[in-house]
Structure 1
Amino acid sequence: MNIIGAIGVGALALTAGSAAFAEVESTDPIKLTLHDWSGQLLTTTIMGKVLEEAGYNVEYVQADYIAQFAGLKTGDLHVAMEIWETTGREAMDEAFATGNVVSFGPTGMDAIEEWWFPAYMKDICPGLPDWQALNDCAQEFATAETAPFGRYLGGPVTWGGFDEERIESLGMDFEVVHAGTDAALFAELESAYQRQAPIVLWLYSPHWAPAKYEGEFVDFPDYEPACYEDPSWGINPDMAYDCGKPTGNIWKVGWSGVAEKWPGAAAAIEAFTLDNAAMGEMVGKVDLDGQDVDAVAQEWLDAHKDVWSAWIAD
């Protein structure tokens, strides 16, 4: 996957604008954050192009998924188009509590991020998808790097997710090995799947992978907020994170000053919506077909002008 070059923003940022439909409130750039997975790049590029069509200046800034909240609180960054309920809820709630970061509402996409295994692993590890069965055959997932523990291939370390904490709290004989990039994560899945090799890894939706590969998410104890907040809750009375990950919305959030400085842009960001199917199709074009993020985003805009035009209507 081409990350920054794919959307032509240079090393860190690009400022752009276009003829306005109406007079904009400020020509200062609206800073949209970019992360390290294709879906987020697409979401942000689509939003940025729509804002440019409305006459706003847009600046794309590469930022760490969790650490970006520091910039959103101070107003050095303005909008983050994808905060996943599955991994970003704690950071989001802490930022909301300051009053300096607000929600622009759901994106329309529903998030799942969880451990996943190919269907052929059921022959090797009977009892799957139950997490206890997974633990019973941890040695089947061991590599030279992790033996005698099984290897869980996690996402890039910046994604969060509390996988190390979960392994410890549930007493699992696994070790987390983080993929360096989103692209590396799915390249390793493709390689393992073609060889029918053992693998359990982080998979998420919306994405093309759950449709392309036959497999299942691991069934951990059901998530409850208390699981993350109260060590006494759950299977392990002494540790938190002894449960599955939450599921739910993917949120748009931003600096609280956006609505005052750029009210028209704030309204457009709130109106933005996509569904899992549309996003999965676009991510597939980027990751599987090698198409440029900017081109895929523009293709969607060209085909759905009636949709996004409503986002910036007076």
Structure 2
Amino acid sequence: MKKKTASICALALSAMTAASAAWAVESNDPIKLTLHDWSGQLINTKIMGSILQEAGYSIEYVQADYIAQFAGLKTGDLHLAMEIWETTGREALDDATATGKVVNVGETGLMAIEEWWYPSYMKERCPGLPDWQALKECSEEFATAETAPMGRYVGGPVTWGGFDEERVEALELDFEVVHAGTDAALFAELESAYQRQDPVVLWVYVPHWAPAKYDGEFVEFPPYSAECYSDASVGVNPDLAYDCGKPRGPIWKAAWAGLQEKWPGAYGIIDAYRISNEEMSAMVGKADLDGVDIDTVVADWMSANKDRWSAWIAK
């Protein structure tokens, strides 16, 4: 009889807990999170989506362009973007938040570097590296049959921004910028070149597995400043802007301004969310190198970090 009573109590408690969770959800409308075209962003976003689902919220994933997504965030057609990089997205983020229709929900915990990167074997062919001025003297060492006598720089997908063409012109580098079509194609290019010790300099970012797997360095350009991007008179070239390296700094969360009012509990969870470069690099490595499905990578993180994300929900 005691066992039966205990069972009934457990069922009642479970029902009360479920009812409480359902009551806590301010709206059953789906929170729409944006997905982009690189593994880290997909993992980051799906972890956030999974946590919100655990809290009882309905979520929907929407494929969106990295910069163009701000139009949807302003109108409320999209609700949350989990990765706005200080390196490439801060200008668009500031423009959007200035309208009052988008809010910066703070840092994800990830710290970004996006810059030109070369394998260490290229340093033997261009001894002045990592100083960017070495590229002026040995651009031909980075040439391919398609770009010779100019060097080739493999940029990220065009949608990532980054001002690489402007940087090449402002710093008077004899390089042709060739954009990879996708994140996967970018790192396939690195893998192929590295295996054959072929010339390559390309866009590499952190957090990512590549700098851990391959021996190499980032090019050291003149230090970034906001004025370098906005004022042609600032920097080594008095006539052109973008004559410096890319900015470095946090990866931000951006949301539709109405999210906090419509789903205040969800907003609190999003605000509390933090993850580290080391965690993300390891997860991206599992997906990209080991071939583990991204949903499995996310599920494994959720299982291993239950106490952590439960505390974010409880705040």
What TM-score, normalized by structure 1, do the two folds share?
0.93
4+ long deviations beyond 6 Å: none
In structure 1, distance between residues paired with 2:215 and 2:21: 47
Written as runs of structure 1 = structure 2, the 5 A alignment for 1:181-260 is 181-260=182-261
Provide, for residues 201-240 of structure 1, a one-character-per-residue CA deviation record: whole Å limited to 9, x for no partner: 0000000101110000000000011001111100111111
Deviation of 1:144 (Å): 2.1
Task: Return the index of the structure with the highest Cα Rg.
Answer: 2
In structure 2, distance between residues paired with 1:20 and 1:225: 48
SS of corresponding position for 2:247: coil
Aligned to 2:21: 21
Aligned to 1:180: 181
Provide, for residues 115-173 of structure 1, a one-character-per-residue CA deviation record: whole Å limited to 9, x for no partner: 00000111111100111102211111111222221100001110000000000111110
Aligned to 2:34: 33
- In structure 2, give the amino acid aligned to 1:303: A
Percent of pairs with identical residues: 72
1:79 correspondence with 2:80: yes
In structure 1, distance between residues paired with 2:197 and 2:136: 20
Aligned to 1:276: 277
Tell me which moved more, 258-267 or 127-136. 127-136
In structure 2, distance between residues paired with 1:215 and 1:185: 16
- In structure 1, give the amino acid aligned to 2:239: D
Aligned to 1:163: 164
Written as runs of structure 1 = structure 2, the 5 A alignment for 1:288-307 is 288-307=289-308
- In structure 1, give the amino acid aligned to 2:234: W
In structure 2, distance between residues paired with 1:198 and 1:49: 42
In structure 2, distance between residues paired with 1:100 and 1:20: 31
CA contact (8 A) 1:141 1:199 kept: yes
Aligned to 1:121: 122
Cα distance change of structure 1 residues 20 and 219 upon mapping to structure 2, 3 Å threshold: farther
- In structure 2, give the amino acid aligned to 1:89: R
Provide, for residues 268-306 of structure 1, a one-character-per-residue CA deviation record: whole Å limited to 9, x for no partner: 000110000000000000000001111100100000000
Tell me which moved more, 105-114 or 133-142. 133-142
In structure 2, distance between residues paired with 1:242 and 1:216: 20
- In structure 1, give the amino acid aligned to 2:188: A
CA contact (8 A) 1:20 1:56 kept: no
Deviation of 1:313 (Å): 0.9
- In structure 2, give the amino acid aligned to 1:223: Y
SS of corresponding position for 2:88: helix
Cα distance change of structure 1 residues 140 and 160 upon mapping to structure 2, 3 Å threshold: same
Aligned to 2:6: none
Deviation of 1:21 (Å): 2.9
RMSD: 1.1
In structure 2, distance between residues paired with 1:127 and 1:283: 32
Unmatched 5+ residue regions in structure 2?
1-17
SS of corresponding position for 1:268: helix
The structure carrying a bigger helix percent of its residues is: 2
Provide, for residues 87-112 of structure 1, a one-character-per-residue CA deviation record: whole Å limited to 9, x for no partner: 00110110011010001110001000
CA contact (8 A) 1:112 1:248 kept: yes
CA contact (8 A) 1:108 1:274 kept: yes
- In structure 2, give the amino acid aligned to 1:52: Q
